[in-house]
Amino acid sequence: MIGGLELSSEVVLASRWSRFGATSIDAIISMTFNIPIILYTDIGARLISLQALSITDVLLSAIYSMIAYILCHGYLLHKKGQTIGKYVFGISIVNMKGELIGFPKIYLKRNLPVGMVAYIPFIGGYLPLADMLFIFRKDKRCMHDLIAGTQVVSVAVKKDTDFN
């Protein structure tokens, strides 16, 4: 059972398109929190003029982003293994047995490692791309799924379209 829905013994992996759609929604939500900070602080001006950010600026930005992420997605991730985007697309994060793992494990094992590496100069800029390209594996698991031992499955309820 995931998020109140009974699953068959065989899990159905989420499609690449549903994962892309869910990630797109989550990115838009993230931007609504981050753009005002960039615009109304000198961080935005320094980024536009290609000035280096201090470690303090980077840390404060990272902490703010983490807090915003937790406030937006924490409850759904803990209860259903879903972000807002995943909820909209009817997909959920589970372990390899198809069980929910809760917010702490999702965040600490799945999001934080890849998120922290993204701040490493030179390497960090390429990791998100490499992570995304892993979706084209046969098992549709991204790098963050492999690190955390998770998979994304469909929990959408099939509608009975038989009109007889």
- Helix (H), strand (E) at residue 116: helix 112-117
Averaged confidence pLDDT in the chain: 86
DSSP, res 67: H
Q: Per 3-state DSSP, what percentage of the chain is helix, strand, and coil (rounded to 5)?
A: 55, 10, 35
How large is the average pLDDT for residues 115-144? Answer: 88
The number of CA neighbours under 13 Å toward the Cβ of 105 is 15
Task: Kindly give the interhelix angle for 16-39 and 55-80, rounded to the nearest 10 degrees.
Answer: 140
Q: What is the pTM of this model?
A: 0.82
List Cα–Cα distances, 79 to 66, 120, 138, 153, in angstroms: 19, 32, 28, 15
Task: Please give the share of the chain, as a percent, with pLDDT higher than 70.
Answer: 88
Amino acid at 42: D
- Three-state secondary structure call for residue 93: strand
Dump pLDDT digits (tens) for 40-71. 777 777 766 777 777 887 788 888 889 999 99
Q: Is the pLDDT of residue 97 over 80?
A: yes
Dump pLDDT digits (tens) for 3-38. 554 444 578 999 999 999 999 999 999 999 888 887
Q: Which residues pair with 91 in a beta bridge?
A: 154
Q: How far apart are the first and last CA of the chain?
A: 30
List Cα–Cα distances, 28 to 44, 84, 130, in angstroms: 18, 11, 21
Q: Which of 69, 93, 71, 73 is nearest to 81 (CA)?
A: 93
How large is the average pLDDT for residues 96-117? Answer: 91
Residue-level length of the chain: 164
In angstroms, the CA 93 to CA 13 distance is: 10
